[in-house]
Homo-oligomer: A and B are copies of this chain.
């Protein structure tokens, strides 16, 4: 099978119009020997989709933008150098679509930090004549093999998308910080949303004791149901941190807005040598600010983490399949109206806990 002559997607021609998405048609990019052509079945909705669409992270480098990087679909074509996949395989794609493969980071399972990383959408692809990548709210994507993940047999297809970005984003720092084993460790998850609700499940599956932190108690029942051992509403329990002095091996910050969160309160709760890792990325200028003393006196570290490696993605998918770790989603069959709905609601964090656009193949096949 050859590449389609045209890809259909739903997106915007400029950040000014992002709240009024439209149907778009564009040619596929050049197909390289290590590429996989995927017919898209469903696509999760990430906060990044909103930020990129709205131009919060800069103007569009291309003539239009179709977002979506929690893609699940079926392999329709593989390049001659592809060894992992064959036509018909059900696969996923996350936030990254390519890397140099040759640098120190690529060679040490840190390919997500490659200086030449090609993101799944909104990035000029230096391996394909500078074609600006377009995401998965579309009929097809072309992705290099190293950034395609096999979906485990039997895993509910419509639920796999959110693992590609949100899942891997929380799994990688959990896996690294806990050295793959959470037994005897205590993990705090700050912010219970698209990221945090998966983090609770993965931390638990890795064997850790899990405390969920949220500003209010509105998500308490959900957090406990997802596996949290304890739940703290920081905004309702002003003295909460007195009982957790040097208690946590890891605090994973999944909040995507830092308003109303006093991170200084959290640091004394970390063990000496423990980690505070942030994966939440606010849109604006909200900063993580600490006095030097807060770092010095605790001996804890604050770091960030960018999605995860393919190696970690495979471990995550295996763990998710074995433990039935599923995102909690609201599904909407794709349409121009649905894209408008999910982006505007995701902007307000009005979702429990992740949107998935479904029936994508059917929608574009009818066109």
A interface residue numbers (CB < 8 A to B): 104-105, 110, 113, 115, 245-246, 258, 271-273, 275, 278-282, 285-306
Contacts and interface: CB of A to CB of B under 8 A. Distances in A.
Given A258-B292, A288-B290, A294-B304, 7 more contacts: A105-B272, A113-B297, A275-B301, A278-B292, A278-B295, A280-B292, A297-B304
26 contacts: A104-B271, A105-B272, A110-B272, A113-B272, A113-B297, A113-B298, A115-B246, A275-B301, A278-B296, A280-B292, A281-B293, A282-B291, A282-B292, A286-B291, A286-B292, A287-B291, A288-B289, A288-B292, A288-B295, A296-B305, A296-B306, A297-B306, A299-B303, A299-B305, A299-B306, A300-B304
Nearest to A291: B287
B304 A298 contact: yes
Given A294-B304, A303-B302, A306-B299, A115 B245 contact: yes
B299 A295 contact: no
A318 to B, nearest CB: 23
A300 B258 CA distance: 20
Contact of A302 (B105, B110, B295, B306): B295
A351 to B, nearest CB: 21
A302 B303 CA distance: 6
B113 A299 contact: yes
Contacts of A306: 296-297, 299
A187 B154 CA distance: 49
Given A115-B245, A245-B115, A272-B105, A110 B292 contact: no
A278 B287 CA distance: 18
The 10 closest A-B pairs by CB, nearest first: A295-B304, A301-B303, A296-B304, A289-B289, A301-B301, A287-B289, A113-B272, A302-B302, A281-B292, A110-B272
A287 B245 CA distance: 22
Given A115-B246, A292-B281, A301 B302 contact: yes
Contact of A285 (B258, B287, B288, B291): B291
Contacts of A305: 296, 299
Contacts of A110: 272-273, 299
Nearest to A255: B292
A227 to B, nearest CB: 25
A179 to B, nearest CB: 14
Contacts of A278: 292, 295-296
A293 B258 CA distance: 13
Nearest to A169: B296
A115 B245 CA distance: 9
A258 B293 CA distance: 13
B296 A281 contact: yes
Contacts of A303: 295, 299-302
Contacts of A291: 282, 285-288
Nearest to A307: B296
Nearest to A172: B299
A22 to B, nearest CB: 30
Contacts of A289: 287-290
Max chain B Cβ within 10 angstroms of own Cβ: one of A290, A294, A298, A303 = A303
Contacts of A299: 110, 113, 303-306
A297 B303 CA distance: 10
A192 B4 CA distance: 61
